[in-house]
Amino acid sequence: MSALLAWLLTNPTILAIGAGVVGALGWGFRQRLAGVRAERSKQADAEAAARNIADQVDNDIGALPAGAVRKELKSWARD
């Protein structure tokens, strides 16, 4: 067993193949993490845009008099 292990660790072809496999796995893992980061960034941007719209709606409703708000809300409830 130790002779086989010694042969594997001293054979340059086997070492090159092993290094290539490890490198490919590392590259694939790095690409996956980059994809996860990009998706999280995309979702954060979408949430920020939705929050801006919600804030604008809140500001618009807050600027209306109480009677107009009630009338507007009644029309939304019927839709």
Per-residue confidence (pLDDT) for residue 72, from 0 to 100: 78
pLDDT band at 57 (very low <50, low <70, confident <90, very high): confident
Q: What pLDDT digit, counting tens, does each position of 26-52 carry?
A: 999 999 999 999 999 999 999 999 999
Which percentage of the chain shows pLDDT scores above 70? 96
Per-residue confidence (pLDDT) for residue 34, from 0 to 100: 96
| Beta carbons of 28 and 34 less than 8 angstroms apart | no
Per-residue confidence (pLDDT) for residue 78, from 0 to 100: 61
The number of angstroms, rounded, from the C-alpha of 1 to the middle of its chain's C-alpha atoms is 46
Helix (H) or strand (E) holding 11: none
